Amino acid sequence: MSDTKSVGSAASSSSNNKNGASPNEPAGNIVPTSYSTDFMSFLKGVLSFTGDLSSLTCPSFLLNGISLLEYGAHWSDYPHVLVEVTKATDSVERMKLVARWFVSTLYGSYNKRVAESNTGEKKPFNPILGEQFLASWDDSTYGETKFICEQVSHHPPVSAIYFENAKAGIYGSGHFSQKSKFKGTTMKVVQDGRVTLRMKNSDEVYCLSLPSLNICSILSGKPFLEMSNTTFIRSSKGYTAEFHWHTKPWLYGEYHKFDGKILKDTATNFVQDGPGQEYLFAMKGKWVGDSYFVNQKTGEEQILFDVGAQPAADIIIKPIEQQSVLESRRVWHNVSEALASGNYDVASKEKTDIEENQRKLRRERAEANTEWKPTLFTWVDDADAEEAVKSCYIYLNSAVSSVGTGSWVFNNPLQPSAKSKSASEASGTQTPSDAFSTAQSSVL
């Protein structure tokens, strides 16, 4: 049978929270009592480190037993919300539905693990080069939604994602990487990357930037995530959704609030409150709870998304024995098993063995003067992208530089553009049509 556990359940299970996230900080400490001294030593090293914290080795007792690649699957937590985007009859309604889908991805990505366990956030595994995570969701009404993720770079670490629902004709691709450093007592995480959403029944393209994160309460051993800064969605028809993520004030207020707006903006570049912008809808609420649209002409409120109204769909993952040697749960199986049993010494040894093998492979490629290439994705510069994508990211780059100047594009999408297809063919990394059922190995 396939594994239908929620993403994040590889090493532990958690209680169901029907009402969404807890509004408060987690109660449970992530540090085992016998490792308190080791934790303090690790913190001293972290606080004095001046580089990107992702390059530091994390003690095994702070690992959650999940590969970072699995987190990408939260883009498909609510397949029906994704599919509903294709039912819009005009660009304004479509932008509202894309905004709704985007907000639906956030709870699972950044809060669910803490909210359902009431224990602090632990660190995921850093994926190995070429690691893959494949999953699907099946619904009798909406059809099958598929997801695939590949680690396309190790230095810097970059994960590429692709998801599709063939029945509805909607698909998206993107990539993300993270840079982290301490500021005061909080870890600041900047997420570089983007996601591009397309539909077969519309020529409209939607391009999204990613939120920044604050990891709070690390010193107390009860870390949790807050979102910060501003995120944008830009459509190729000239509509923009702008989200402002608010961290809790020092002495008062609430966690996880946001506000924003949807506007019509025909400008080439983004300008805050620029001339000619038409303010259509306000957005407000909590990204871990309920949120609303407010029509700026009528004042009417409409639900944006409600986390507690329905559970996320069950994810389907092949049993480990049927996975390729590059699929996440097989790669990290022994480490996850050791963590689940609390055997941190064994977990550290198994993790070190994986990392040493990766170093050996890098040395062998260097000696053979061989360049590693991803199996499933191809890099496409914005200058070589179709005009709709290019114009969207020109606009977004004037607002947030974190979207970069190119995209990792899946080699076998539902409806490839001429430019992405030619780039894929030139790379020599064409993927067979059954990429979701057979992960190909380009490392071992």
- Express each pLDDT in 203-222 by its tens digit: 999 999 999 999 999 888 99
Please tell me which residue, 249 or 144, carries the higher pLDDT value. 144
The stretch 362-391 carries a mean pLDDT of: 96
Range in 24-28, 62-66, 85-89, 348-352 with the lowest mean pLDDT: 24-28
The stretch 121-132 carries a mean pLDDT of: 96
Q: Are 411 and 377 in contact (CB under 8 A)?
A: yes
pLDDT of residue 118: 86
Q: Residue 382: what are its φ and ψ, rounded to 5°?
A: -60, -30
pLDDT of residue 4: 47
Please tell me which residue, 412 or 420, carries the higher pLDDT value. 412
- Average model confidence (pLDDT) for the chain? 88
CA 45 to chain CA mean position, Å: 28
Please tell me which residue, 172 or 15, carries the higher pLDDT value. 172
Extended beta strands in 78-141, E state: 123-125, 132-139
pLDDT tier at 378, thresholds 50, 70, 90: very high
pLDDT tier at 421, thresholds 50, 70, 90: low
Asked if the model's pLDDT at residue 443 lies above 80, the reply is no
Kindly report, residue by residue over 78-115, the tens digit of the pLDDT.
999 999 999 999 999 999 999 999 999 999 999 999 99
Extended beta strands in 47-201, E state: 63-67, 123-125, 132-139, 143-154, 157-165, 170-183, 186-199
pTM of the model as a whole: 0.89
**Whole-angstrom Cα distance, residue 93 to residue 104?**
17
Asked if the model's pLDDT at residue 436 lies above 60, the reply is no
**Whole-angstrom Cα distance, residue 51 to residue 18?**
40
* Percent helix, percent strand, percent coil in the chain, to nearest 5: 30, 30, 40
**Whole-angstrom Cα distance, residue 96 to residue 286?**
17
Which residues, listed in sequence order, are joined to residue 171 by a DSSP beta bridge?
Answer: 164, 198
Kindly report, residue by residue over 340-353, the tens digit of the pLDDT.
999 999 999 999 99
Half-sphere exposure of 35 (CA within 13 A, CB side): 16
